[in-house]
Amino acid sequence: MHDPEADEDLDNDPDKSNAELVYIAMSAHRNADADEPKMLSDAKRSLEWPKWEQAVQTELNQLQGMETWELVEPPEKPVGNKWVLVKKTNKEGEIIKYKARLVAKGYSQIPGMDYTETFAPVVRLETIRAILRLAAILDWEIGQMDVKGAYLNGTLKEEVYMRQPEGYSDGTYRVCKLKKTLYGLKQSGREWNIVLNRKLLDAGFKHLFSDPCAYIQIKGDKIEIVTVWVDDLLIFTNDCALMDQLKSELQNMFKVTDLGEPRKIVGIEIERDHSKRTIKISQTKYIESILHKNGLTNANMIGMPLDPNTVLEKEEPETDDECDRDNGYASLVGSLMYAAIATRPDIAHTVQRLSSFTANPGMAHWTAAKRVLRYLSGTRELGIIYGPIADVKPEDQAKFMGYSDADYANNIRDRKSISGYLFKLGNGTITWSSKKQTTVTSSTTEAEYRASAKAAKEAVWLRTLFKEIGFEQQDPTILFEDNTAAISIARDPQFHAKSKNFDVKHHYVCEKLRDKYIDIHYCPTEDMIADILTKSLPKPRHEKLSVGK
């Protein structure tokens, strides 16, 4: 059954498909630089053609070396292909590699004939953040490896034929009968994930039930963790020699590039300071690409993403110019959304509000979206910093806590409330959410109670994750709430007068409180840090609650 709550989530829910969101966001900026060719013919006309030509030949050599196809007589409708040309850059934006990838035009595949199942998971962003947080506290070794031609490790089960690619031709009309899962095919990601999963399990790893794209192997006091985002592997160990051993194992499984300590993964920059024992995650370059695309690279700084007095209503475009700009609005909001779920909870509430108008944005919505860009222009280097925790018992170093909040009847269009939660381990934020509730609530208490139920679910998931990687929470997870009536109802279900109309599913928080998974504590409103996820705040309070401040 379809869950309507999934339609309005702005959190790290796997049902939202982090991979799809990242693909859309990153694709929107892949050609932000005018000199990055969109087609091979463009590359041939550029002064950089020798470098692109070498990249194309390198890709063809790899495809042939892995026996990706064989030439056969053509069937009726072979799929097409195209070259995707990308300049790989480092954290400083310097070009480090010219990459050419041959991609099959999978959109022409026929379901049931050319492919069946296609789902392929990727590691959840909050899993990456949680493990990075532990790595900063415990001073773990961290590495990054890139699997070369990852999809080509999968064997194609269906018969799929493809035209010979530009730059490779035997002078006949024969076509390529694909033997391996080439990039672009609907099933390629799934087949690669199956191969990777099997090899890691054979090597003694176990995948986490809390995240099927995170793998762990514990031998005595030695820990090895591998997280998988398509062909990008982040690896963690608590021993230097073990890191070398793990890299050697992975090199025996696949053709990989050792990238050393991670500096960037899926647009997220990772900066480690060993002397201070800190790890910072941010999206400076990604944000700069959004600013560049929208002509706001040198925009004047604004102190908060949305003015508290701004009213956003349902508006149809009123002019031809506004109609022409509709498509760009959805792309911009999608780009902002990735920043909001990856490293910037300070814009999560604003982006959640803007996302409600992607079908018919008016000038007010465009103005608000551009304001977020101006805010990001002045805070582009802001990120989340994970550092050591002082004066804490060893058994409490991995103890996290959460904050839950709601803004009652916030939306003037439908009077639905906004829920927000945020979880921290020490001073480092590891997960958060800002979402509009799916139905109207009758009181502030009900809105807060609903929000606490969502936060309780996240707490239970985090407890499972930490238990699986060897850091089981010994005590109930503290969940801070600033509404005393909501706390009373959670602690005493017999408090019937105010809760008799509450939906059954929201009593989840009572059950987890009773089972000692969570413990709800009162938090004064002025100390409620999840406030930034439920409403637009005045500049002083917004700055106080922003990450990195």
Residues 6+ apart with CB under 8 A from 216: 205, 206, 208, 223, 224, 225, 226, 468, 469, 470
pLDDT at 15: 39
- 274: tokens are 């060993």
Nearest CA among 264, 131, 270 for reference residue 208: 131
pLDDT over 90, % of the chain? 66
Cβ neighbour number for residue 321 with a 10 Å cutoff: 10
Pair of tokens at residue 312: 């956003």
Q: What is the pLDDT of residues 25-77, one digit of tens each?
A: 655 555 444 478 989 999 999 999 999 999 999 999 999 999 999 999 988 78
Question: pLDDT grade, residue 362 (50/70/90)?
Answer: confident
User: What would the two tokens of residue 272 be?
Assistant: 């480690």
Percent of the chain with pLDDT over 70: 86
- Mean per-residue pLDDT of the chain: 88
Report d(CA 528, CA 403) in Å as an integer. 7
| 114 CB-near residues (< 8 Å, 6+ apart) | 79, 158, 160, 185, 186
Confidence (pLDDT) at 21: 59
pLDDT in tens, 513-535: 999 999 999 999 999 999 999 99
The per-residue pLDDT for range 429-441, each reduced to its tens digit, is 999 999 988 888 7
Question: Does pLDDT of 12 surpass 50?
Answer: no
Right CATH for 393-545 from 3.30.720.200, 3.30.420.10, 3.50.50.60, 3.40.50.720:
3.30.420.10
Tokens 């409403």 locate to 535
Residues 350, 334: Cα–Cα separation, whole Å: 13
What's the CA gap between 352 and 372, in Å, rounded? 12
Single-letter code of the amino acid located at 27: S
Q: Which residues contact 202 (CB under 8 A, 6 or more apart)?
A: none
Q: Which residue, among 415, 442, 420, 419, has the nearest Cα to 431 in the 3D structure? A: 420
Contacts of 64 (CB under 8 A, 6+ apart): none
Averaged pLDDT for residues 182-209: 95
CB 140 within 8 A of CB 236: yes
Cα 269 to Cα 266: distance, rounded to the nearest angstrom: 8
Q: Mean pLDDT throughout 274-292?
A: 95
Question: Going by C-beta distance under 8 Å and a sequence separation of 6 or more, which residues neighbour residue 366?
Answer: 322, 325, 329
- Range of weakest confidence among 80-84, 226-230, 508-512: 508-512
How far apart are alpha carbons 346 and 341 in whole angstroms? 10
Q: How confident is the model at residue 118 (pLDDT cuts 50, 70, 90)?
A: low
Do residues 214 and 123 make contact, with C-beta atoms less than 8 angstroms apart? yes
Decide if 267 contacts 22 (C-beta within 8 A).
yes
- Residue 469 structure tokens: 């990687």
The C-alpha atoms of residue 183 and residue 192 are separated, in whole angstroms, by: 10
Contact 376, 290 (CB under 8 A): yes
For the chain, the structural domain boundaries read 31-266, 282-378, 393-545
Give the CA angle between residues 387, 305, 133 to the nearest 5°: 15
Average pLDDT over every residue of 132-145: 97
